Structure 1
Amino acid sequence: MKQVRPKKNLGQHFLTDLNIAKRIADTVDACPNIPVLEVGPGMGVMTQYLVEKPRPFKVVEIDRESVAYLQENFPRLNDNIIGGDFLRMDLREVFDGQQFVLTGNYPYDISSQIFFKMLDNKDLIPCCTGMIQHEVAVRMASQPGNKQYGILSVLIQAWYNVEYLFTVEPGVFNPPPKVQSAVIRMTRNEVTDLGCDEQLFRRVVKATFNQRRKMLRVSLRQIFDANHPAPAGFFDDEIMTRRPEQLSIPQFIELTNKVASAL
């Protein structure tokens, strides 16, 4: 079968360097003995190494041409090629409710959505690895006080330990992207309960970073309204003079509980 043509509308940049493909595939070894799901395998440059690992393995691919290519070139996968949209899948059905490692050469334009879905299924996904845009990887691994520290940093690091593994240059892709890429690994930490309302935590983090240059006493006002006004003195607390990139995750949890009490 002829090679698959990369499609711009799907954000496809096919990795061509086999050494890098194997290095990415081997990142799943940090979480042994559980199944692996690869997102967006394309022509299977990583798949060829993942399929050799002694554990259950499935791929999910939205591109019909790529699905046909995989079916012809990876007969060992048999019924383990899922033709569909990862973002629309019920992940509990993939391995019958069993935990699994998520990996892939993720499309840049939906990588954040993939990781938000991972967070929604964090009890199913103890480990997530793969390649994303360098800028996003730096953001995810950033610590407080860094200008790259933001929404993704806080929401992911609340539940996962993030490792920036290595950088990948544009020349090893077809077509080459206009930016650098990076390989990351996220492993579930020991947190089972944030100690605050998780939905409100997300809301507070997003509200403050959406106005990241403003002090918290300004950005948090959008959470309150005429029906739920902020109580007197709420914005006088010292923490309200800070900006979101100055707050650690425990401080965001403390802030969420303050907001919850005020509401």
Structure 2
Amino acid sequence: MKKYKPTFNKPSAKDDQSVRAKKHLGQHFLTDENIASKIADTLGYEAYNKVLEIGPGMGVLTKYLLEKKAEVHVIEIDTESVEYLESNYLHLRGRIHEKDFLKHDLSEIFGEDQFAVIGNFPYNISTQIVFKVLQLRDQIPEFSGMFQKEVAKRICEKEGNKTYGILSVLVQAFYEAEYLFTVPPTVFNPPPKVDSGVLRLKRKENFNLECNEKLFFTVVKTAFNQRRKTLRNSLKSLNLPDNLREDAIFGSRPEQLGFQQFIELTQKIEPYAISNN
């Protein structure tokens, strides 16, 4: 079968610096072609044929996404980057969206279709990106990309570790999370002060949370807001009855509970939370 070849100019990320990285947007442009190719390969491109890249910059990752058998869209808030992409990636015309990913209604782009999300994410909004993906999880079967290493590790961490936290529980309740590889600062322009890490999330199919979702999020966030305390103390603000708080699970600290145990905890709390509303 003849390999699909999209129509676009393929500038070298190392040679072309026509877009200035902007500190207030958290931009660090990836300059290593091999790493860009590896990130593009992290998606399985199954069960969907549409991909959204967040913050493409000068398109070092975009060029490799365009070689896949998928309809690629990019969303970029930087006008200078948008102009660059429109000039150099002709195949993307009509699918370059000059919008803020965190604020834009993605149904205007994808309707109710399934789509994957990928990117070299700005560190300053990376956790907000994950929370929005969780909100849209019914449409996003796969998510991968580059984070600050510490954040990527935290998302994929298991219970019993100090770095395990809110993002770990909430993400792992709905997705299989895998830390893939570490990326050094030297392959970016300008180089960040820390290492980066690439992860992949694959949605759990036919998964039922089996508890009130809003309450589940509240319980997890409230518990980790005072992570050094036992749940008996950290969940005091939920005004739970004393007899419930004597349950053995409330003697644990939040970092000791996996996502399934947080679901069970929410199930125990749910009757009282409903009666208190």
TM tier relative to shorter chain: over 0.9
Q: For residue 75 of structure 1, report the CA deviation from its aligned partner.
A: 1.0
The alpha-carbon deviation at position 257 of structure 1 amounts to: 1.4
Please give the alpha-carbon distance, in whole angstroms, between the structure 2 residues aligned to 1:147 and 1:34: 38
- Report deviation, 1:262: 2.1
Pairing partner for 2:44 from 26, 29, 47: 29
Q: Which residue does 2:171 correspond to in 1?
A: 156
SS in 2 for 1:27: coil
Residue 59 of structure 2, aligned match among 36, 44, 53: 44
Deviation, 1:151, is 0.3
1:73: which partner in 2?
88
Structure 2 residue ranges without an equivalent (≥5) = 1-15
Sort the Cα spacing of 1:114 and 1:248 in 2 relative to 1 into closer, same or farther, 3 A: same
Counterpart contact for 2:212–2:266, Cα < 8 Å:
yes
Deviation at 1:30, TM superposition (A): 5.2
Partner-residue secondary structure (3-state), 1:70? helix
The reply on whether 1:237 has 2:247 as its aligned counterpart is yes
Question: Pick from 253, 259, 262: which aligns with 2:263?
Answer: 253
- In 1, the alpha carbon distance for the partners of 2:254 and 2:47 equals 36
Query: 3-state SS of the aligned residue for 1:137?
Result: helix
TM-score (norm 2): 0.90
Q: Which amino acid aligns with 2:250?
A: M
SS across alignment from 1:89: coil
Instruction: Give the Cα–Cα distance (whole angstroms) in 1 for the partners of residues 46 and 27 of structure 2.
Output: 27
Alignment RMSD: 1.3
1:151/1:7 Cα in 2 relative to 1: closer, same or farther (>3 Å)? same
Alignment pair present for 1:93 and 2:103: no
More deviation, 206-215/25-34: 25-34
Distance apart, 1:2 and its partner CA: 6.4
Describe the shift of the 1:33–1:253 C-alpha distance in structure 2 as closer, same or farther (beyond 3 A).
closer
> What are the ranges of 5 or more consecutive residues in structure 1 without an aligned counterpart?
225-229
How many angstroms apart in 1 are the aligned matches of 2:203 and 2:156?
14
Q: Following the alignment from structure 2 to structure 1, what is the Cα–Cα distance between the partners of residues 100 and 172?
A: 26
Kindly indicate whether residue 155 of structure 2 is the aligned counterpart of residue 144 of structure 1: no
Counterpart CA distance in 1 for 2:70 and 2:47 is: 9
Give me the TM-score of the superposition, normalised by structure 1: 0.95
Partner residue in 2 for 1:83: 98
Q: Which amino acid aligns with 1:75?
A: L
d(CA) in 2 for partners of 1:30, 1:98? 14
Choose the corresponding residue for 1:63, options 73, 78, 82: 78
2:229 matched residue in structure 1: 214
Q: Look up the match of 1:128.
A: 143
2: CA distance, partners of 1:31 / 1:9: 35
- Residue 227 of structure 1 corresponds to none
Compute the displacement of 1:167 (Å): 0.3
Rounded to whole Å, the distance in 1 between the matches of 2:23 and 2:94 is: 28
Task: Give the superposition deviation at 1:58.
Answer: 0.5
Residues of 1 paired with 2:155 and 2:123: CA distance? 14
What percent identity do the matched residue pairs reach? Answer: 55
Q: How many angstroms does 1:193 deviate by? A: 1.9
Aligned-partner residue type, residue 22 of structure 1 = S
Aligned partner letter, 2:205: E
Please report how far the alpha carbon of residue 31 of structure 1 lies from its aligned counterpart in structure 2 after TM superposition: 3.4
Residue 95 (structure 1) shift:
2.0
Deviation string, structure 1 residues 177-218 (Cα, Å, up to 9, x no partner): 011001111000135320000010000000011100000000
Number of residues paired by the alignment?
258
User: For 2:20, what is the secondary structure of its paired residue?
Assistant: coil
